[in-house]
Chain A
């Protein structure tokens, strides 16, 4: 009989914890469950739960959003993208068109989709037009794009790929001198596709406790308990607390399809910078379907230099788990879900938006030193 959330919580409360333990999650779905279940308030005070780089919309490079907007506005194309991407603002003056949503309102043919199969349907239904699929996302979302490409896509469908791998961002944090966390909750559905072994480096290279979790409070608390016990007992092993879905080795078909269609390349993360081997790019064999090769580039070098988070916005530090969302200078003042300034307030997976939806309305004074 699996333990209930209440039982897991009691087991955690019974532990003799050190003064402070910081557990990072790197998945917007995890952060949503943690916040909505109120786990921060229910856990012992010594435990800090830190939302890390878990929002693909938030770290999608500003120049890619800009490129998508310009293609939609200036080329004769239909642009399709996952719905969350439409509201992300780029760094342009307010009088200019600053998001795909505004570009759509200005007449560009931009359509939100929920699945790569919809991109194919739209391309099939419009054989005389070019359809550009702006595909941003982590491994869980990029793998279906790869599957779509292997299965075969219409000639008039181009991909503007902005896929990212999750683990290199965690590796970058761990290799920095100020990782800012003591244990890791690894993402459940990324591990379903890529295999839990992807996270073994956290144990082997950094001797940090880690556990893969699902999305219920039970699974998250089980993973937290595991990492805490590992810390207290001096043991280190990657504990799969979502074994009903996450299988050893992950989904081999999906991994083969990713390998067949895409190369892993150094890639820019908005507000973070270039992270080595953290992005996907279409292989040369798919050049005919690569929007970056078939259509003009509007994101020039100058654009890339300004391609950071909006002014005054702390999304960059929120994404890296350096500050909590409500420690941002503009959280809840200038930046709200109704009028978002930073991408973390835009996306359903952004930590700021999740905290706001979870009822956190007050700003907090940052406890973290400037860096």
Chain B
């Protein structure tokens, strides 16, 4: 029965979620450049423009990691937190493909 646990929201699924806007899921991305309240962010080679307007009490800089939801960074996270999240997501890419086929 334990095999069923091998599913987690994969990076691909989550990034697809960005496109299809699952309304409660935010994903970790890394900031590559900042211009005012706009940031260029990357995750798994996919780039997105992200607003930093909701992070004014918690300033960020290029290289930092943020949780992104509907184009807005809602929370800064540590590199360890982001990478451990992605690590789990990565492991599960293969398992995810099987689920996606349903």
CA distance A247 to B22 in the complex (A): 22
Q: Are B26 and A140 in contact (CB under 8 A)?
A: yes
Q: Are A114 and B19 in contact (CB under 8 A)?
A: yes
Choose one: A42, A116, A254, A349; the contact of B71 (CB below 8 Å). A116
Q: Which residues of A contact B53 (CB under 8 A)?
A: 147-148, 150-151, 253, 257
Chain B, residue nearest A151 (CB):
B53
Is B46 located at the chain interface by the 8 A CB criterion? no
B34-91, CB < 8 A from A: 37, 49, 51, 53-58, 67, 69-72, 74-75, 77-78, 81, 84-85, 88
CA distance A245 to B77 in the complex (A): 6
Choose one: A38, A54, A115; the contact of B72 (CB below 8 Å). A115
CA distance A144 to B53 in the complex (A): 9
Q: Are A257 and B54 in contact (CB under 8 A)?
A: yes
Q: Which residues of B contact A252 (CB under 8 A)?
A: 57
Q: Are B70 and A141 in contact (CB under 8 A)?
A: yes
| Chain A: interface size category | 35 or more
CA distance A54 to B22 in the complex (A): 11
Q: Are A82 and B23 in contact (CB under 8 A)?
A: yes
Contact A114 B21, CB 8 Å, known A141-B70, A147-B54, A253-B57: yes
CA distance A227 to B78 in the complex (A): 27
Q: Which residues of A contact B85 (CB under 8 A)?
A: 216, 244
CA distance A56 to B54 in the complex (A): 21
Q: Are B102 and A357 in contact (CB under 8 A)?
A: yes
Is A187 located at the chain interface by the 8 A CB criterion? yes
Q: Are B24 and A29 in contact (CB under 8 A)?
A: yes
Chain B, residue nearest A35 (CB):
B7
Which one, A67-75, A96-104, A171-179, A188-196, is touching chain B?
A188-196
| Interface size of B in residues (CB-CB distance below 8 Å) | 42
Is A130 located at the chain interface by the 8 A CB criterion? no
Chain B, residue nearest A27 (CB):
B24
CA distance A87 to B102 in the complex (A): 21
A19-39, CB < 8 A from B: 27-29, 32-33, 36-39
Q: Which residues of A contact B49 (CB under 8 A)?
A: 117
Choose one: B9, B55, B70, B78; the contact of A215 (CB below 8 Å). B9
A126-155, CB < 8 A from B: 137-138, 140-141, 143-144, 147-148, 150-151
CA distance A332 to B58 in the complex (A): 47
A24-63 CB mask vs B (1 if < 8 Å, else 0) is: 0001110011001111011000000000001011000000
Chain A: minimal CB distance from B39 (Å): 12
Chain A: minimal CB distance from B41 (Å): 12
CA distance A143 to B9 in the complex (A): 23
Q: Are A5 and B5 in contact (CB under 8 A)?
A: yes
**Interface residue ranges, A against B (CB under 8 Å):** 5-6, 9, 27-29, 32-33, 36-39, 41-42, 54, 56-57, 82-84, 114-118, 137-138, 140-141, 143-144, 147-148, 150-151, 187-190, 192-193, 215-218, 244-245, 247, 251-254, 257, 348-349, 357-359
Apart from A147-B54, A217-B5, list 8 A-B contacts with CB within 8 A.
A27-B24, A84-B21, A144-B70, A192-B75, A245-B75, A251-B58, A252-B57, A253-B54
* 15 A-B pairs (CB sep. < 8 Å): A36-B7, A38-B4, A41-B1, A114-B71, A115-B21, A117-B51, A117-B72, A140-B26, A144-B69, A144-B74, A147-B72, A150-B53, A189-B74, A244-B84, A247-B75
